[in-house]
Structure 1
Amino acid sequence: MESPPSTYCWRNTLQTSFSLWVTRLQNSLHTQHRRVLAGVAIALSVLGGGAFAVANLDDGASKLPLRQVVESVNTLSLPSLWADPLLQLFRSDVTRSSDSADSLLSRLGLSDPEAAAYLRDARTPRQKFIGRAGRLVSVTGDTEHKLTRLTARWANDDGESFTRWVMERTPNGFTEHEETARLNVSTRMSNGTIQSSLFAATDDANIPDNVASQLADIFAGDIDFHRALRKGDRFAVVYESLEADGEVLRTGRVISAEFVNNGKTHQAFWFKEAGAKEGGYYNADGISLRRAYLASPLAFSRMTSGFKMRFHPILQTWRAHLGVDYAAPTGTPVRSVGQGIVDVAGSQGGFGNVVMVKHASGQTTVYAHLSRINVKRGQSVMQGQTLGLVGSTGWATGPHLHFEFRVNGQHKDPLTMARQSVAVEVSAAAREQFKRHAAIAKIDLAAAATSQVSSAE
């Protein structure tokens, strides 16, 4: 057999040795797992360059001349993490009425006196979102917790658009700009089961207060939410969600709702007749659920006592409690339950600051213990109009609204009076349109009712 040449170039030597080594690896793959892993590591180091030596792989390879080659190899440069701009921190939250510029930025994870000073001085933040609850604010900051960009969003009064206010840091200081865009309206569904109260169930189902308030108003003419609820009653609701830049700004109108109370099913469908200025809620038969009187003078309330006897906390004696007390924080708006004329607007003994409104047919409503009165005697008021704010004036041990309903001077249960007020029907011309609308809405309600059920203990 002819002897191999006396010299080889180092690359040929490497290729021959590596081929023999790979063959040996393949033959022993099933029985020498750990050695295979070590061999792979050796192979990678060989291919990486630098100083190396080729080991004897078999008898043929051992007869080959060995030659060591040392060669400089430039290492690959890896990109530095700090070559890019500093990492940006992002956070968003909803403003609170107690917010200042400093506390808002602090809650958003920033410590930036310069940015806080700009927010205090700028006109738009002062008027639109600093110290005003419910505004969505998003910020980005650097690794030193300094503000780089702030965006505030809030829905406009038209219900169709929102305002976006942007503040940015530049090399020359902060800049700001404001723009308007359309809200995106999506549909959401939820449901709940009553264990103690409507409000506990809506809280547990994560239903926004605005939607819970609408539910109470929609069905208040048919259901006494203070005395007629039963454990196991259930409800389903489909409502609008108003979004800006993919973030929910607020909830909109309830589209349809269902409430099963003591085994009886009540349904409500929002419907607006063609050419009508306003829409309303109707049951499956096309009869309006709106009554001449609202059942509650508060947009969202949690009753503390009903139309019953109670131990009076100041007089320290049992007496007829001829009205309904609504627990609410000081400053909560109080609305007129119906259209009428203001008969009394001032201070009156144990009532403290009180408003009395005269309605048709000798009916009068009373709103007592107010911290503020917003109307004057002789003024015409509409249903839902704000009369004043909840307080604790007069004979009151804490902030609440005392509400009464009188007919020709006789006290009546306000919830009973609300249920008995006259309702109207969908017009004959719109009846077929309403039937088609209700049929579609029932499908959504069925889907909402069969989704994951929430309950409140």
Structure 2
Amino acid sequence: MINFFLRKSILTIATIIAISTTLGMVRYHQANKIQNLPPLRIIKGEENLNQYSHKILETNDHIQPYINETTVRNGDTLSIILKRLKVSNSKEILKFLSANKNAKNMLRLLSGKPILAATDSLGNLIWLKYLHIPSSEQKGQIVSKYILLARDKNNIYTVTEKTESSKKQIRVAFGNINTSLFEATEYNGIPNFIAVQMADILKNKVDFLRGLRSGDHFIVIYEIQTLNGYLLGSGKVLAMEFKNHDKLYNAVWFDNNGKDKGSYYDFEGNNLQNAFLRNAVKFSRISSTFGRRLHPINKTWVDHKGVDYVAPAGTPIYATADGIVDFVGWQNGYGKVTILKHDNKYSTLYAHQSRIDPKILKGKKVYQGQLLGYVGSTGWATGPHLHYELRINNKPVNPLSVDLPTSKKIEQTNIENFKKKIAFYQTQINFLAKFNNETIKIAFNN
């Protein structure tokens, strides 16, 4: 165990590194509360939201409020909540609300929603912030609405509804494996969505179900979206390192400054994503494999040129590889079908769709994992399923057993941009890797 003084040294050095790269780095303790809470105060130090309760903080107008927080519980009234928030002039607040029906309606209480309050040294309410509406995404930005009860310049309380956009932050976390990846990420306050991404990024390198052992460890750098100190959602994993059975794997996100689609690469520039996915749909079972079969409708023996995946009608169908739409529409027994061309050699076919996504047009470029349409039973089909074909030089092959091509390395013209992109992440990962017996969580304000 790293002792107290070494721990402080680690944080000090980490701070110096972050400052040198123009990112402010502060130690982080709790997963879902960040340090950019209500606008009345300047936050200093290394505390989380709960630690602000009962503390005097500086403010822009030299009032020194106490910040308290709670969540609405079943059976709560506003009177009970104000008492929990240590508001001494609650009678004044309740009198104001009873006289202002519009304000009272705006403060309808919903169980589980957070409420924050700032009070002065006498316990009088300065403002109350109630995050009452679930966050939503607008143009890639997570936004949230909240109710603000506050005193105006004339010292009169008002209630208004506000909208704020989230802030993107970068977080670094370190974890040791004891039983599973998800146990380790939960213990270290890493969102589940990030854990799922970690497993997906290295799925071709690490067996996360059966291949982990005690002593494996990881470092991950990832994005989060926050508003008023609350985690609204997770972004993407930016970089990670995973040690499994004494073998080290790493990954970094690179999209050439937004010019390309983006993918995950190891630090040597090798693409970690296979060029083709094995499956285009989440299916319950395979009803027909590749090869000779008795046709279910005309009852004759024929060559089955693909694989049939049974799934409920309406199940999304995804492109298994980057490509160009070569055909989209109706085609005899295939019903509603999409055909994609991948380079000059490979093509894929997706048949019996109930509906084709309107964005899928002949000649358009599509990306691996992009929505093509939905499972159906159009054409010659006895029930909802996806008929999927993979062809090499226009000859059908078994998509379940054929050796699929690997993805390409970083193009030579992008090598310098790639090196610059990953330099900072490599520095952080290499530094934190020296202290793999200690859980270290750090937040970057971005």
TM-score when normalising by structure 2: 0.49
Q: Which has the higher contact order (CA 8 A, sep 6+)?
A: 2
Higher Cα Rg, which structure: 1
Q: TM-score, normalised by structure 1?
A: 0.48
Structure number with higher helix proportion: 1
